[in-house]
Amino acid sequence: MKVLCVTPNVAIDRTLTVPGFREGGVWRAAHAHIACGGKGINVARALKPLGQDPLCAGILAGHGGRLVADAAAAEGLAGRWTWVAGETRTSFIIVGEHGRATVVNEPGLALTDADWRRFIADIRQLAGGCAAVAISGSLPPGVSDGALRELIAAAAGDGQHADERRPVWVDTSGEALATAIATRPADIKVNADEAAALLGWKIATPTDALQAAREIRRRGPARVALTLGDRGAVIATDRGDWHAWPPRLHAVNPVGSGDCFLAGLISGLGAGVTPEEALRLATACGTGNAIEVHIGLPDPTKLTWLLVGTQVRQVA
């Protein structure tokens, strides 16, 4: 299945493993890793070992943009990029003791209206050859949250009959998340903190998460998936609601786990399995990423073990 993975705010990811890291002082990294970054690229990175055919799309600029494009190609990730003036941002991921990660994101590219219109036109063309679309991450500075409606419409196939529109999953936060929820036909993937900020609720348990997912779904989306870290994830759909939880493991680097979760969800649903089994696969994928140093899925043996060990229950 060909999946378009859209990252409006691409970055270079520099991951530094720094034993004992805390604020202040001078630190020496034990390991350093550079990769193309951004949530949509992480989704593509996880889709590939699941047997899917991801296509990366995003906005690139300058020397950093060329580094991103080259790094994606070196990983075997196909990319079709919209090039603009400026310089692609860098994100720093510092992994300290017990797998705790500190993330520092530079501001993204400031786009002109013409830049955004070219990006929308590129997405409309690329999505036409794909079975599903994932739109992940923040919007660049200078782009209004309302512009996300244009992006979702172009990805879904604006102008087509509702039955012919392709599924579009959106994973974002803040005002952009509120916009996505109100924009059909987008489905929503969100984490507990993002949902809590949106709804003004405390989300601490799977019961809280299901209530939040149902409330978000009431506002428009057909399907809402909400992740809870090591407590698993929930999904609310018109076919029922489920909670999945993984076996207890030691997290090494949880950054990107939500993106790997979304890759598993899209892969499962695209294969025609039930929401229950798609949630099981998604939860195993998110957990599999968390036990690795670098963003991506573990080897097939570990992933199979996680899939078998992930439990799912339907919630009435």
Q: Which long-range contacts (CB under 8 A, 24 or more apart) does 211-218 make?
A: 213/241, 214/241, 216/181, 216/188, 216/190
Residue 247 phi/psi, 5° resolution? Answer: -65, 155
Q: Indicate the pairing of strand 186-191 with strand 11-17.
A: unpaired
- Higher local confidence (pLDDT), 98 or 235: 235
Using alpha carbons only, give the angle 263, 265, 267 rounded to the nearest 5 degrees.
Answer: 65
Alpha helical stretches, state H, the chain: 39-47, 62-74, 113-127, 147-156, 174-181, 192-199, 206-218, 257-270, 275-290, 300-309
Catalytic residue among 115, 171, 259, 299: 259
Query: Is pLDDT of 262 > 90?
Result: yes
- Lowest mean pLDDT across 96-110, 136-150, 175-189, 299-313: 96-110
How would you classify residue 114: left for phi > 0, otherwise alpha for psi between -120 and 50, otherwise beta?
alpha
Supply the pLDDT for residue 279: 98
Supply the pLDDT for residue 161: 59
Q: Indicate the pairing of strand 11-17 with strand 168-171.
A: unpaired
Q: For residue 183, give the DSSP letter.
A: S
Count of all residues that appear for the chain in the document: 316
- Token representation of residue 191: 């984490």
- Lowest mean pLDDT across 113-127, 147-161, 221-235, 267-281: 147-161
The counts of H helices and E strands in the chain are 10, 14
What digits encode the pLDDT tens for the residues 164-173? 689 999 999 9
Query: Is pLDDT of 163 > 70?
Result: no
The pLDDT of 158-169, averaged and rounded, is 77
Supply the pLDDT for residue 246: 95
Q: Is 301 helix (H, G, I), strand (E, B) or coil?
A: helix
- Token representation of residue 126: 């690329």
Query: Is pLDDT of 98 > 80?
Result: no
Q: At what angle do helices 275-290 and 257-270 cross, to 10 degrees?
A: 150
Band of pLDDT at residue 7, cut at 50, 70 and 90: very high
Using alpha carbons only, give the angle 304, 308, 311 rounded to the nearest 5 degrees.
Answer: 140
- Higher local confidence (pLDDT), 110 or 55: 55
- Cα–Cα distances in angstroms (integers) from residue 250 to residues 175, 253, 288, 293, in the given order: 33, 9, 11, 12
| CB-CB contact of 206 with 283 (8 Å) | no
Query: Is pLDDT of 99 > 80?
Result: no
Supply the pLDDT for residue 132: 97
Query: Is pLDDT of 253 > 80?
Result: no
Q: Is 132 helix (H, G, I), strand (E, B) or coil?
A: strand
- Rounded percentage of the chain residues whose pLDDT exceeds 70: 98
- Higher local confidence (pLDDT), 2 or 165: 2
Supply the pLDDT for residue 160: 64
What digits encode the pLDDT tens for the residues 100-127? 788 898 888 889 999 999 999 999 999 9
| CB-CB contact of 165 with 185 (8 Å) | yes
Domains and CATH numbers, the chain: 2-315 (3.40.1190.20)
Is 70 labeled as catalytic in the residue annotation?
A: no
- Rounded percentage of the chain residues whose pLDDT exceeds 90: 77
Average pLDDT, the chain: 93
- Give dist(CA 196, CA 198) in Å, integer: 5
Supply the pLDDT for residue 4: 98
